[in-house]
Amino acid sequence: MSYLVLARKWRPRTFTELVGQEHVQQALINALDSGRIHHAFLFTGTRGVGKTTIARILAKSLNCERGVSSKPCGECGACREIDEGRFVDLIEVDAASRTKVDDTRELLDNVQYAPTRGRYKVYLIDEVHMLSGHSFNALLKTLEEPPPHVKFLLATTDPQKLPVTVLSRCLQFNLKRLPAPLIAGRLQHILKAEGVAAEPAAIGLLARAADGSLRDALSLLDQILAFGAGRVTEKDTRVMLGTVDRQQVVGVIERLAAHDARGLLDSIAAIDEFAPDYGQLLDEMAALLQKIALRQVVAGLPEDETYAAEMLQRLAATMAAEDLQLYYQMAILGRRDLPLAPDPRIGAEMTLLRMLAFRPQEPTARQQPMSGGERKPAVAAAKGPTDIPPAPSQAGEWPEMLASLDLQGAARQLASHCRLIERSGDRFRFQLDARAETLRTRQLEDRFAQALTRLTGAPVRLEFEVGAEALDTPARREEQARDVRLEQARLALESDPNVQAMRDRFGAVIQPESIKPVG
């Protein structure tokens, strides 16, 4: 007896056997049981999610010899013939191979005739978006006024290519991609029924590799059963799929946590000996980083089927949350950009080295408290030619007042380029940096005065005089502080061992203009 592949052997034959498409299942059950059955149905979704399977179950429900219902018996002649693909009144058409208008007209010429064997003549047109424009026009007339004994079941992976006139005459059902846990559960059920033992980690790998398609998952299961001589182990599954051993993935993450650039490159060299899929390596890294991040924020999570809980907890305790988020983001972006790399290994290596080269800035106090409540930027305490001279006592309060002003845009720029000379009652005298003289307009002065009025609680008058360039203004202080941070960033990059590793291995060169101060 010939072998029947799992995808055909385990194809659902009733609505209750369907998995993951409850929204479609319930709508069709209600329609069949209430007798409100439309003449044309359109099933859309990616490959392997059940479009033609649902269409065949619907055809069985319509033609079961025991009557129209959502529970076809599966035993009568019509049900058996539909399951076996030989029911004369179920006309299945692959639109990809019959795109010509003559093919469509030939198909529709027989629509007017009554069914030969069943209650309804059912046309199942797969990949209907492949029909030509003229073929759609020929189909449209029949969809508008179909005979009462005809039902159309259309399936497509690309509904955007269907004419609106066709879409508007069909009941549309969008089938979802199936989540990996649901696929894994279905595989476990099938393996148990088949009497095959399987490692949970191997089932998880197959479910993720199926990418939302249960049919693909069953095809992969057939493949691993052949590859492993009837066994389903994690090791064999990784070899078959070309995925990296999970202990090697753990090793990569541990070296990331230790900021060990040399160790990372050695790990990639060891992994490369097995001709891996580097896209899947980055996928596995992202999945592991997510598990570690969950351990940081949620206590008491259940045991993980893939990775040891002790290892996950250890890495969660040693890695900063900011690093985890950055590594995860770089892993998925590196996965996206991998086809653009000179070769996959280079792309993966550069992604890992990028994780080390760009790290979240350590949190630092932007300002330090001073006597009398005055504050100034912390970098101003640094010794050197860029030191900011202390402001006169009348101006000491101005940086604090400016920080509290409700000002935005150009008006705030005007205020930040001012130095407070004198405050007497409701009068504020400012010295304006000559570089910002163009900002002094009536409108901006009024907005400046209104903001000071709101802050002080009383009307104020402003007086301005233009001073020399580079006055000791808040804007000038911020510029000098930014210069200090830029120089610190440059020195840190020059001395960073990870940058040195990229220079030594790849001849990397730092572009000074690309260095930006953070914060």
Which DSSP string corresponds to 395-448? GTTHHHHHHH----HHHHHHHHTEEEEEEETTEEEEEE-GGGGGG--HHHHHHH
Give buried/exposed letters for 427-459 (b at 16+ CB in 10 A, else e).
Answer: ebbbbbbeebeebbeeebeebbbebbeeeeeee
Q: What percent of the chain has pLDDT over 90?
A: 30
The SS3 of residue 75 is coil
* Residue 365: per-residue pLDDT: 39
Cα-Cα-Cα-Cα dihedral sign, residues 213, 214, 220, 224: positive
Is residue 352 within 8 Å of residue 257, measured between CB atoms? no
Name the DSSP letter for residue 379: G
Which pLDDT belongs to residue 518?
Answer: 59
Enclosing H/E stretch for 26: helix 22-34
Q: What is the pLDDT of residues 414-433, one digit of tens each?
A: 999 999 988 888 899 999 98
Report the pLDDT averaged over residues 203-219.
89
Q: What is the pLDDT of residue 244?
A: 75
8-20 mean pLDDT: 89
> What is the rounded distance in angstroms from the CA atom of residue 241 to the CA atom of residue 205?
9
What domains, with CATH codes, occur in the chain? 6-174 (3.40.50.300), 180-241 (1.10.8.60), 246-357 (1.20.272.10), 392-472 (3.30.300.150), 479-514 (no CATH)
pLDDT top residue among 480 and 190: 190
Tokens 């790849």: give the residue.
506
List 41's β-bridge partners, or say none. 153, 171
pLDDT band at 364 (very low <50, low <70, confident <90, very high): very low
d(CA 371, CA 422): 21
pLDDT band at 362 (very low <50, low <70, confident <90, very high): low
Q: What is the DSSP string of 251-319?
A: HHHHHHHTT-HHHHHHHHHHHHTT---HHHHHHHHHHHHHHHHHHHH-TTPPPPSSS-HHHHHHHHHHS
The residue-averaged pLDDT of 434-453 equals: 88
User: Does residue 369 register a pLDDT over 60?
Assistant: no
Cα separation values, 359 from 28, 494, 513, 518, Å: 53, 15, 19, 11
Please determine, for residue 371, whether its predicted confidence score (pLDDT) is greater than 50.
no
Neighbouring residues of 136: CB distance < 8 A, sequence distance ≥ 6:
162, 163, 165, 166
CA 253 to chain centroid? 21
Tokens of residue 353, six digits: 């080295």
pLDDT at 166 over 60: yes
pTM of the model: 0.57
Per-residue model confidence (pLDDT) at position 392: 39
* Continuous segment of H or E residues that includes residue 128: none
